[in-house]
Amino acid sequence: MKSSLPLLLVFAMTFASPAFAKGNPARGLKIAQRNCAPCHAVGRTGESVNPKSPPFRTLAQRYPLGDLEESLGEGIMVGHEGPEMPTFEFSPAQIADLMAYLGAIQVKKR
Ligand code: HEC
């Protein structure tokens, strides 16, 4: 398994960036389950309950997660512009947790 070491280092460096450093992914998952799971698929597998809601593990394919973090901090939900849009208010700590979780589950486009 020697050959997987460089890859692990790349991952470690990616998620050691400030945006992902502070949060606790386990708490982030709880936040997502409580607030977002009614519509979005929040796990590593599974489909969204509401088919229009993108699964969370694909969000980074649409835009940088850092942009999402910023919108969450400003109380704006990116992409939630229709009548179905719920508004959320999160503390900076909750946002860090959520971002840590989202960062951990992203899958690359195939
Ligand atoms: C009541 C259903 C519902 C809930 C609850 C919900 N969403 Fe959404 N969300 C949607 C729908 C529907 C879309 C797609 C909107 C569109 O494409 O116009 C969406 C889109 C998004 C997008 C943008 C996707 C894009 O590419 O533009 C993000 C990011 C997002 N949701 C995050 C969240 C987060 C974080 C939570 C929980 C804190 C959450 N959503 C809770 C219904 C929901």
Q: Residue 28 is part of a domain; what is its CATH number?
A: 1.10.760.10
Decide if pLDDT at 99 tops 50. yes
* Residue 110 domain-assigned (yes or no): no
Ligand 1: centre distance to CA 97 (Å): 17
pLDDT, position 81: 59
* Domain with 81 in it: 23-105
The conformational region for residue 54 under phi > 0 = left, psi -120 to 50 = alpha, else beta, is: beta
* Residue 39 domain-assigned (yes or no): yes
Pocket test for ligand 1, best of 30, 36, 49, 71 (most atoms within 8 A of CB): 36
* Residue 14 domain-assigned (yes or no): no
Task: Identify the CA nearest to 96 among candidates 30, 14, 21, 23.
Answer: 23
Question: What mean pLDDT do residues 77-106 have?
Answer: 80
Planar angle of CA 44, 92, 19, nearest 5 degrees: 55
Residue whose CA is at the smallest distance from ligand 1 atom 11:
53
Identity of residue 21:
A
Q: How far apart are CA 85 and CA 71, in angstroms?
A: 14
Q: Is 99 in the pocket of ligand 1 (CB under 6 A)?
A: no
Considering the entire predicted model, what is its pTM? 0.78
Binned at pLDDT 50, 70 and 90, residue 71 comes out as: confident
Q: Quick one: which atom of ligand 1 is closest to the CA of 72?
A: 35
* Number of domains the chain is built from: 1
pLDDT of 22-61, one tens digit each? 799 999 999 999 999 998 999 999 999 888 889 999 999 9
Question: Which residues make Cβ contacts (< 8 Å) with residue 62, sequence separation at least 6?
Answer: 54
Q: How far is CA 70 from the centre of its chain?
A: 12
CB atoms within 10 A of CB 56: 22
Q: How many residues are listed for the chain in this entry?
A: 110
Residue whose CA is at the smallest distance from ligand 1 atom 40:
36
Q: Is 65 in the pocket of ligand 1 (CB under 6 A)?
A: no
* Residue 18 domain-assigned (yes or no): no
* Residue 73 domain-assigned (yes or no): yes
pLDDT, position 8: 59
Q: Quick one: which atom of ligand 1 is closest to the CA of 38?
A: 5
* Residue 68 domain-assigned (yes or no): yes
Task: Identify the CA nearest to 78 among candidates 93, 98, 97.
Answer: 98
* Residue 43 domain-assigned (yes or no): yes
* Residue 83 domain-assigned (yes or no): yes
pLDDT, position 108: 78
